[in-house]
Homo-oligomer: A and B are copies of this chain.
Amino acid sequence: MAKRSVRLSRDAIIDCATALADAEGLEAVTIRRLAQENGVTPMAMYWHFNDKDSLLDGLAEHLIASVKLPEPGDGMWDEQLRAILVAFLDAIRPHPALAGLALRRILVAEPGLRLAERVLDLLRQAGFGPEQAAEVGTFLMCAVITLVVGDPMAAKAAVGGDAAADMRHKQAMLQALEPGRYPNLIAAAPALVSCRGQDDYFTINIDLLVQGVRGTRRN
């Protein structure tokens, strides 16, 4: 794994870290591991990044920069809002191990600022004041992130082991609950263990968020 393309760069490290997180989870993203992966000494990383936290900042920024923001368009605010949330979702879905990093880092770099500005703009169009737009907009972006962080496929690499066996095990456990006390859990057992990560899970809950915004605004 210790290959050295010629020179090390911030971007190369970030790409490497992203691939590593996708393949083995965020806890595999380590200063020492990244160094090893690039055929370099751990301390070489400290030339390109101040410390590990700024490496994580870079990962989050790179992730958010991959959002394909739709053009400001002329449709209704709710359809435009949905389109933006879906664009955000689509960008982070391939990287569930990194999505959580964005929770606290949306407003720290330009790509996140652009995303947030667009969300706030649409919420203002929907009739929210500046404060309410801030509160709702912040939550909407966090909620979309949660949609993919809750994805059990994200845990696959983390646990390292057999995800399918784990799902079968959890479902069997739910099915084995006392029918008198947990009728709904038993009825929903198959969906509970496999719903997250399915397209249906994302679309229905994005819909819930947009409908919630519509129901919450003043006018």
Query: What residues make up the interface of A, taking CB atoms closer than 8 Å to B?
Result: 103-104, 107, 113, 116-117, 120-121, 124, 130-139, 142-143, 145-147, 149-150, 152, 155, 170, 174, 177, 181-185, 187-188, 190-192, 195-196, 198, 200-201, 204-205, 207-216
Cβ-neighbour of A195 out of B138, B170, B188 (below 8 A): B138
Do A195 and B131 touch (CB < 8 A)? yes
Complex copy number for this chain: 2
Do B213 and A150 touch (CB < 8 A)? no
A-B contact pairs, 12 of them (CB 8 A): A120-B188, A130-B184, A130-B188, A131-B195, A135-B198, A137-B188, A139-B147, A139-B201, A204-B216, A207-B216, A210-B212, A212-B213
Residues of B close to A107: CB separation below 8 A: 170, 174, 185, 192
Nearest-Cβ distance from residue A108 to partner chain B, whole angstroms: 8
Do B177 and A113 touch (CB < 8 A)? yes
Which of A103, A136, A192 has most B Cβ within 10 Å? A192
Cβ-neighbour of A188 out of B133, B184, B185, B207 (below 8 A): B133
Closest to A210 in B: B212
Q: Give the docked Cα–Cα distance between A198 and B135 (Å).
A: 10
Nearest-Cβ distance from residue A110 to partner chain B, whole angstroms: 10
Do B187 and A130 touch (CB < 8 A)? yes
Do B139 and A208 touch (CB < 8 A)? yes
Residues of B close to A205: CB separation below 8 A: 135-136, 139
Q: Give the docked Cα–Cα distance between A196 and B132 (Å).
A: 11
State whether A215 and B204 are in contact (beta carbons under 8 Å apart), knowing that A121-B184, A143-B146 are contacts in the complex.
no
Residues of B close to A211: CB separation below 8 A: 211-212, 214-216
Do B117 and A181 touch (CB < 8 A)? yes
